[in-house]
Amino acid sequence: MAALRYAGLDDTDSEDELPPGWEERTTKDGWVYYANHTEEKTQWEHPKTGKRKRVAGDLPYGWEQETDENGQVFFVDHINKRTTYLDPRLAFTVDDNPTKPTSRQRYDGSTTAMEILQGRDFSGKMVVVTGANSGIGFETAKSFALHGAHVILACRNMARASEAVSRILEEWHKAKVEAMTLDLALLRSVQHFAEAFKAKNVSLHVLVCNAAAFALPWSLTKDGLETTFQVNHLGHFYLVQLLQDVLCRSAPARVVVVSSESHRFTDINDSSGKLDFSRLSPSQGEYWAMLAYNRSKLCNILFSNELHRRLSPRGVTSNAVHPGNMMYSSIHRHWWVYTLLFTLARPFTKSM
């Protein structure tokens, strides 16, 4: 094939020769996919053999992987001073054709975010992750960035957010990551973030509502609401409402709300079964940190379900997720009792 010869390689397997109008490409993490220029679509399986492949080994000496303005991966041969969209390692691909397992078999309590995204190319996708400077949010943002997405770390503390951006860039210096200010405890900050994001005139393909507060002592935000309720639920609710038009315009798009199984251990109804709004933002005398957290997580799920019902016909899906029982993170830092509990449980929990 001419493209292979241009890359300094020869076609050695006629069975793998592509039909007219097809092109072989690779993702940043080495998975091979196939572009059908006639029908303008892509697929992971070879159009003739049905096999999935990945490239083996590092790039040859003198070669470097780059990304163009459209998010397409291309390769630079510095020795011969030429570029090509063909991965020079394609002559050394290996088959990846295991029996397709179920999700339960494929992923378990030790599966990492990087493993979940393996083989997926998010080039050209815009992702916003709230609370992305540490913990689950950071790992989520990093995984998206290392798979080609343009990721915005939406954080309250810009110093820590900038440090998180630097950590991601240390792993891949060409990652598209940036930090923007978002304080969910201040509705004005949520509004300013949404305005600043819209001013970029970009799409929004994935919004991960991850930021959360846990075990906080009772306090009111400047908006006059109990802090746990506003940070964990209302701030995200307001953010999604402000960005809803962008999400719909970017369809297919997705909202992911990080909730918790702890939502099962509370309710927001009174004794007669009617919604009791006073439980959402309780007074100091009626406040218990764990119940406040549980109720905010219940609100997350109710919100996600209703959002999906309303927006899925417009191409925007919404999912609420439970990240894992007693996952060790810094969310417990506000009370020493929970810090002790999480420390004792750490050997038996899922790591970041």
State the catalytic residues: 293
DSSP secondary-structure letter at 261?
A: G
Residue type, 293: Y
Bridge-based pairing state of the strands 206-209 and 176-181: unpaired
Q: Kindly give, in sequence order, each residue whose CB lies less than 8 Å from that of residue 188, ignoring residues fewer than 6 positions away.
A: none
| 225-249 CB burial, b ≥16 within 10 A, e <16 | bbbbbbbbbbbbbbbbebbbebbee
Torsion-angle region of 51 (φ positive above 0: left; ψ -120 to 50: alpha; else: beta): beta
| 37-56 CB burial, b ≥16 within 10 A, e <16 | eeeeeeeeebeeeeebbbbe
> Nearest-CA neighbor of 240 among 216, 257, 222, 219?
257
CA distance 71 to 178: 17
Read out DSSP for 18-78? PPTTEEEEE-TTSBEEEEETTTTEEESS-TTT---EEE-SPPPTTEEEEE-TTS-EEEEET
Report H helices in the chain. 2-6, 103-106, 113-116, 135-146, 158-171, 187-199, 227-229, 235-249, 289-311, 336-345
Q: Is the peptide bond before 217 cis (omega within 30 degrees of 0)?
A: no
Tokens of 106: 């494929």
At residue 317, the 3 state secondary structure works out as: strand
Tokens of 157: 């503390």
The CA radius of gyration of the chain, in Å to the nearest whole number, is 23
